[in-house]
Chains A and B, each alone.
Chain A
Amino acid sequence: MPRDPKSSKEKSMNIPQRLLTLTACIPLSTGAAHAQSRLDSGHADVGIAYEDGLFNLHVHDETNDIEYSPPSGENGALLVVGASAQGVVPSDTAFAFLGDSGAPVWILPKNQNPDLLFLGIGAEELEAGTFVGNSIRLNLRGVQGPGTLAVYDLDAFGIPTVAMSSRDGISTKDWVEVLAGSHSHLNWAFSAPGRYTVAFTASGQLADSGQFVESPSAAYSFEVIPEPSSIALLSLGCLGIGLRRRNPFSRTITHS
C-alpha cells in the first residue's frame, strides 16, 4: 500500500542526521527488499496508464519489457541509483536547489549513462484524445528517506528547470507534464545515500467529460548507493550502532 505521503515527508525532514545513517544501514543488513527486482542499469520508466477509467502507475523495464505493477513492494521494482551517480552540487547558483555548492549529490541523469539506470516518465500507454490537450501530470506527493529528491530538466544550454523538489517541501507545484503517447527523461537527484520511498499520483482532465481525475498515491522504491569508501564508513557506523544498542540511547536510534 502507498504510504501516507504527508506523514512520510514530515518524518523524514525531522530526523536528525546521525539517525539517518542508521536508516541507510537497515536495508543493507536486513535484506527486506530481496523479492524486489533491482533495476540498476538499462532503460526504465515511471509508467502511467489509464485503463477502464482508472490510472495505473507502474514501473516499466523498457530494456526487458517487464512491467511492475504495483511499482514497489514484494513483486515490485527497486530503482537503484548506482554509486557512480555521485557528484557534487555545482557552484552555479542556478543549482542551489540541489543543496550547498560542493555537497554530494546522486543523480540519475536525463542523458543515458550505460552504468546507471536511465529513468524516464512514460505515458506511451495513454491514448491520444483521452485527456484535454493530451496532457497529464505526474505529481510528487511524498518523499520518505534519508535526504531530499529533486527532479529537474536542463535546457539546450544546460540551464536547469526544477519540476519537483522535496527540499522546500512538497506542494501542488511539484509536478511533471507528460504527453499521451510519449515519454520524457529528467534528472533525478538525491541528496544522501540510502533507501527512499517516493509517492506519486497521476492527474488530468478527461476530454469527453471535462472531469478532473487523479489517481491514488503509488509508492516507488529507490536505493541510492554510496561510493565504496562511504560503504566502509557506513559499515563502521552500523557496527558502532550495534554496540550502542546495548544502552538506552541505542533504542531511541533503532526506533527512528
Chain B
Amino acid sequence: MKQLLITGLSLAMAQLIGLADDGFTVLRHEHADLRVLYNPGLAPSLSILARDEDRGINYATNQVILVGKESSKLTLPSGTPFGNGGSPFWILPQSQNPKLLYLGVSAEGLSPADFEGVIKLRLRRLEGPGYMMVWQATGPGQFNIRINTRDGIDASDVFSTITGSHEHFNWGFSAPGLYRMTLQAEAPSKSPAAMLTSPESTFLFQILPLPPPVSFEEWQLAHWPPGFDAAVTGGEADADHDLFTNLQEYAFGFSPSNKDPGEPIPELEVDPAAEGHPVTLRYRRNVTARDLRYVLQASTSPTGPWTFLGGDESTEDVGLPGMEMVTLQDLDALGAQARFYRLEILPRP
C-alpha cells in the first residue's frame, strides 16, 4: 500500500471560512476616488476611503484593490520627467478611458460649513518594485507633478484640493507589481479651529502583470487587500475550501479563489515492470518563493521515522510564471513492502 501525506508548515486542519472574494472589491475600470471623509462627534476625525463613484460605494483600505491593467502600459516619449524615453510606464490616465481605472482624489465628503482652506493628502510611504509619479499635464511637456517618489518622499508629495471638489490625475508606475501607498489627510476645521489629521491609510495597487511572488506576504497581496481578514488570508486558512491551505496554494502555484483539483501532491507513478526504480515522484515547486524550501521524505510507516529522499531531480517548465515541475525517483523503493511519502514545506530562514 502506498500512502501520500502532504505536510504544510503546520499539520493543523484548516478552518473552513468564507469565500475569498467576500468582503472586498477589485476596481479595474471604474470611476473611483480616494475620498476624505469627516466623522463629526465628540472627537471629530478624518478618514480616507476609496469610493466607487459608479456604484456610490465606499471601501476601506482593507476592502479594495486598485488595479492598473496590462493595457495601461505605455512607452515613455523622450524628454519627460517620468523616465527615459522608450521605457515602459504604466499610466492610469487623468482623462477617462472606460477600460482603465479612472482614479481621482476627492474632498466631496467635506463641507465648506465645516472646513475652510486647502485639504491635503500627504504621501507618507510607498512600498513597491518601482517608483510612482502622479501629475497633471498643463501643456506639451508641461507638467504639474504632485507625487514623485523617484527622488524620495517629502513634504512636496501632496495632493491639495478644496472642500466639495475632486480632481483627477495621471498615476504612473515604473514597473509592474504590488505597490502599497500610504496617505494621510489633513483639513482645517472651522469649529473648533484646528487642523484635523486622519490616521495613515494604506491602499494597494496591483500593476499588471504581477511578477511571481517572492514571499507569502506578496502572494497574499496578490489576492487580498492589505489588512484583510486573517481568518481568510492566513497560512493555515483554506479560502476556497479545496482542502489546500493558503500556504500550500502558494507553494504549488494554485489560486486561493478557485477550487484546485485534489490531485495527490506529490504525484506518484508506479511502474512495477521498471528496472531498478519503479517509483517516480513529481511535485510543483515555486522557484521564486524565497521563503520556502521543499523536502521530499519517505518512510516505511505512516508514523515515521521519515528520511530525506535524495537522488537526482530533474525539472521542467509547467507554463506558470515562477513554477516548475520537479521529478525524482525513489532509489530505495524496489522490494519495499510498504512505502510512504510526504512533501514537507518549510520556512526558509
Residues of A within 8 A of B (CB): 42-43, 62-65, 90, 92, 94-95, 109-112, 114, 118, 124, 128, 153-160, 179, 181-185
Contacts and interface: CB of A to CB of B under 8 A. Distances in A.
Nearest to A62: B164
A181 B93 CA distance: 18
Nearest to A181: B54
Contact of B141 (A42, A95, A153, A158): A158
A86 to B, nearest CB: 15
Interface in B27-66: 31, 53-54
A42 B95 CA distance: 20
Contacts of B161: 112
A183 B31 CA distance: 9
Interface in B83-115: 91, 93-96, 98, 102, 108, 112
A182 B53 contact: yes
A226 to B, nearest CB: 22
A156 B164 contact: no
Contacts of A160: 140
Interface stretch (B150-158, B167-175, B218-226): B167-175
B79 to A, nearest CB: 9
Chain B contact residues (Cβ within 8 angstroms of A): what range?
Answer: 35 or more
A182 B170 CA distance: 17
Nearest to A187: B138
A231 to B, nearest CB: 26
A43 B137 contact: no
Q: Which of the listed residues B80, B112, B137, B141 has the most CB atoms from chain A within 10 Å of its own CB? A: B137
Given A154-B137, A156-B137, A182 B142 contact: no
Contacts, number: 89
Contact of B139 (A124, A153, A158): A158
Given A156-B91, A158-B137, A159-B140, A112 B112 contact: no
A160 B139 CA distance: 8
Interface string B229-261: 000000000000000000000000000000000
Nearest to A87: B139
A118 B104 CA distance: 14
Interface of B: 31, 53-54, 74, 77, 80, 91, 93-96, 98, 102, 108, 112, 118, 135-144, 161-168, 170, 172
A156 B93 contact: yes
* Closest CB pairs A-B (n = 6): A158-B137, A43-B165, A63-B164, A111-B136, A156-B170, A158-B140
Given A154-B95, A179-B96, 13 more contacts: A43-B162, A63-B112, A63-B164, A64-B112, A65-B164, A95-B140, A112-B165, A112-B167, A155-B95, A158-B140, A159-B140, A182-B31, A182-B96
SS class of chain A's interface: helix, strand, loop or mixed?
loop
Contacts of A159: 140
Q: Which of the listed residues B74, B93, B108, B166 has the most CB atoms from chain A within 10 Å of its own CB? A: B166
Contacts of A184: 95-96
B166 A153 contact: no
B170 A158 contact: no
Contacts of A114: 118, 162
B164 A90 contact: no
15 contacts: A90-B140, A95-B139, A109-B138, A114-B118, A124-B53, A154-B137, A154-B139, A155-B95, A156-B172, A157-B80, A159-B140, A179-B31, A182-B31, A182-B54, A183-B31
B72 to A, nearest CB: 10
B38 to A, nearest CB: 15
A79 to B, nearest CB: 16
B211 to A, nearest CB: 24
A157 B77 contact: yes
A42 B138 contact: no
Contacts of A118: 165, 167
A43 B91 CA distance: 25
A182 B91 contact: no
Nearest to A134: B98
A75 B165 CA distance: 23
Nearest to B52: A181
Given A92-B140, A94-B140, A158-B137, A182 B164 contact: no
A201 to B, nearest CB: 21
Nearest to A185: B168
Contacts of A182: 31, 53-54, 96, 102
Contacts of B135: 156
B111 to A, nearest CB: 9
A63 B164 CA distance: 5
A124 B112 CA distance: 22
Contacts of A109: 138
Contacts of A62: 108, 164-165
A111 B138 contact: yes
Contact of B138 (A92, A155, A158, A181): A158
Contacts of A153: 95
A94 B168 CA distance: 23
Contacts of B95: 110, 153-155, 184
Nearest to B102: A182
Given A43-B165, A111-B136, A158-B140, A181 B98 contact: no
Nearest to B136: A111
A83 B251 CA distance: 63
Nearest to B89: A156
B165 A42 contact: yes
A157 B138 CA distance: 9
A167 to B, nearest CB: 19
